[in-house]
Amino acid sequence: MLGFGTARVEPVETDAEGRMKAPALRRVLAGKGKSPTIVCAQAGNVNSGAFDPLAEIVDAAQEAGAWAHVDGAFGLWAAASPRHRALVAGADRADSWATDGHKWLNVPYDCGIAITAHPRAHRAATTASASYLTTAGGRSGTRSSGCRRRRGAAARSRSTWP
């Protein structure tokens, strides 16, 4: 889904429950050099319900300069429970998270939620630009929504849409 192709995927050793082994991840990352890397950890294995050791995985990814992503389709909601929130310890330091509303919130199946700690990177990855697109002001090659985005602290503290 990231567009890298299956030849670029590096499997990392897991335990019997499907949890990624952080020392094995460190070995894989050590061999990556300077190439762009994303580490996809899981909060709630689809088959066993197991949680990766997120704090260790995020540490390893950050030390290697990799993007740390938490697939929390099932388990990210554990953060809302005082009894279970330790299962997602470290997820708050990841670069991005994904979860599914349909698994816990009784909403339609196609309710996916993506969250990132880096709004500029997200915007750059999801903004379309082409010479045939125009803005309300008539400039081509820029976003055509016509909305103004807030910058700085205002953008971080409230919605970026007017």
Range from 93-97, 109-113, 134-138 carrying the lowest mean pLDDT: 134-138
Does 47 or 104 have the greater pLDDT score?
47
Spatial distance between the Cα atoms of 135 and 35, rounded to a whole number of angstroms:
35
pLDDT reported for residue 130: 74
Neighbours of 87 (CB within 10 A): 19
8-48 pLDDT tens trace:
888 999 999 999 999 999 999 998 766 778 999 999 988 88
Q: Pseudo-torsion of CA 108, 51, 54, 31, nearest 10°?
A: -100
Model confidence at 60: pLDDT above 50? yes
Spatial distance between the Cα atoms of 68 and 88, rounded to a whole number of angstroms:
14
pLDDT reported for residue 157: 41
Question: Which two three-digit tokens encode residue 75?
Answer: 């388990």
Spatial distance between the Cα atoms of 93 and 40, rounded to a whole number of angstroms:
13
pLDDT reported for residue 136: 57
Reported as a pLDDT band with limits 50, 70 and 90, residue 149 is very low
Mean pLDDT of 126-144: 61
The overall average pLDDT reported for the chain is: 80
Model confidence at 53: pLDDT above 80? yes
Spatial distance between the Cα atoms of 156 and 120, rounded to a whole number of angstroms:
11
Confirm if 41 and 57 have CB atoms less than 8 A apart: yes
Please report how many Cα atoms fall inside a 13 Å half-sphere around the Cα of residue 25, on the Cβ side: 26
pTM (two decimals): 0.74
pLDDT reported for residue 93: 96
pLDDT reported for residue 1: 60
63-84 pLDDT tens trace:
999 999 999 988 998 999 999 9
Model confidence at 158: pLDDT above 50? no
With b for 16 or more beta-carbon neighbours within 10 A and e for fewer, the 34-59 pattern comes to eeebebbbbbbbeeeebbbbbebbbb
